[in-house]
Amino acid sequence: MRCYLHAYLMCTVFTFFSLLYVYSQLASTLEDRDERSGGGRISDRSSHDAGHALRKRPGLLGLRDKEWGQNRCKSLSVSYWNPYWRPPADDVCGVNFLLESPLGEKLSSATKEPKNDRSQLAVVACGARLEETLTMLKSAVLFSRKPVHFHIFAEDDLHDGFRNALEMWPVAVRTTFTFTIYPITFPEENAIEWKKLFKPCASQRLFLPQILKQVDSLLYVDTDIIFLRPVEDIWGLLSRFNASQLAAMAPEHEEPRIGWYNRFARHPYYGKTGVNSGVMLMNMTRIREKSFKSDMTAVTLQWGEILMPLLQKYKLNITWGDQDLLNIIFHHNPESLYVFPCQWNYRPDHCIYGSNCQQAEEEGVFVLHGNRGVYHNDKQPAFRAVYEAIKQQTFSGSVTRYSTYRRLLRRSIESWQV
């Protein structure tokens, strides 16, 4: 009799908890339905805004953190990788690797930005860099769907070349961008020293926050950059900055065994392998307001105050000029840097010794960086093919449409290689 009673009690308890489970599932279903009808979305949006109220937002936003995070698998966002595409095993620096990511247009359509957003793109050109810089600007226009403003810093004898070339582009193309040309400007007391640091005029980027005082956020790129994604895609990364981050760069190397900074640097550098400043996204309002720590004094210094003392201390130890100074600054202020994946700054280093940029393997290359002069020699044919295809491409009709241009670009590359 006792056994029957025990079994009866167990069944009763089991039935009770089963009913509780069914009730909770029913309540959850009803709650989800209410949220889809409007209530839940308002709650999510308010929490998103509240989280971002802790920081000064970039003047031009991009991706919406909360919405992007919740829908990343549906929206094919930048961080979502496609397991069905891989680069050819024997072609890690090949054309297929650069262009065949199936994300295609879907990635750009997934980046939601305000309708009036205008990306701000800066470049510094000195010496024989006119043609290379114009090719970079052309790639930005061809791939972008939203307007861009170019801040072109150049030596005086290049100003007319830039102005004449840009004004010769078709009217329909010129409506998609605006530009301003500036002279090269360094602090008067050390102008010669700054101009000769590493490459001519390269250190100009260090002074952009002080020169462009009315610009809130800025994307700086070297002249040897080719955009393979719309500029607004990388511009959207500004919205991923947390409350302390004020700049974003990619790692100098992904594989420490072939890294330069961790093997040869004679100065502090960021993280395990340093960062590369060829593509640098900046919230310049924050840079101007930030007080930076350093190993020179216990007192924090503003951006304009820290640059010259750093150069004086490390000028005999630095190899890569202004990039080394940036590494030193962010070594002492790591909380201020957002590190984006290598696919946004894809260089020959990522494929010379085998493929070592996993994100590019999974999603494709978004921004191509032809350092080591690979656009102008035969060491990396795929890099040169992409550069030549864009340089030789003329603006015409549907070419300005992103999807059409990717097809035409590929055909041009294939014909150039033949």
For 175, which DSSP code? T
Would you state the pLDDT for residue 266?
A: 92
What's the start-to-end Cα distance of the chain, in Å?
92
CA 89, chain centre distance (Å): 26
Are 367 and 231 within 8 A, CB to CB? no
How far is Cα 383 from Cα 370, in angstroms, rounded to an integer? Answer: 7
Q: Is 321 helix (H, G, I), strand (E, B) or coil?
A: coil
Would you state the pLDDT for residue 9?
A: 62
* Closest of 203, 207, 211 to residue 277, by C-alpha: 203
E-strand ranges in 293-396 read 337-339, 367-369
Q: Is 335 helix (H, G, I), strand (E, B) or coil?
A: helix
Would you state the pLDDT for residue 201?
A: 84
For 307, which DSSP code? H
How far is Cα 342 from Cα 319, in angstroms, rounded to an integer? Answer: 22
Would you state the pLDDT for residue 292?
A: 97
How much of the chain is helix, strand and coil, in % rounded to 5?
A: 50, 15, 35
Two tokens, residue 350: 């990522």
Would you state the pLDDT for residue 197?
A: 80
Sequence-distant (≥ 6) Cβ neighbours of residue 21 within 8 angstroms: none
Are 163 and 181 within 8 A, CB to CB? yes
Sequence-distant (≥ 6) Cβ neighbours of residue 268 within 8 angstroms: 295, 327, 328, 331, 332
Name the strand (E) or helix (H) holding 219: strand 217-221
Q: Is 43 helix (H, G, I), strand (E, B) or coil?
A: helix
Sequence-distant (≥ 6) Cβ neighbours of residue 382 within 8 angstroms: 91, 93, 94, 95, 97, 98
CA 176, chain centre distance (Å): 21
Taking 50 as the pLDDT cut, the residues of the chain under it are 22, 26, 28-90, 101-116, 398-400, 416-418
Would you state the pLDDT for residue 278?
A: 96
Sequence-distant (≥ 6) Cβ neighbours of residue 306 within 8 angstroms: 292, 294, 329
Sequence-distant (≥ 6) Cβ neighbours of residue 397 within 8 angstroms: none
Q: Which fold has domain 183-416?
A: Spore Coat Polysaccharide Biosynthesis Protein SpsA; Chain A (3.90.550)
Would you state the pLDDT for residue 21?
A: 53
| H helices present in 111-230, as ranges | 130-143, 159-167, 171-174, 191-195, 208-211
Query: From the CA atom positions of the chain, what is the Rg in Å?
Result: 25
Q: How far is CA 322 from CA 111, 151, 168, 298, in A?
A: 32, 19, 34, 23
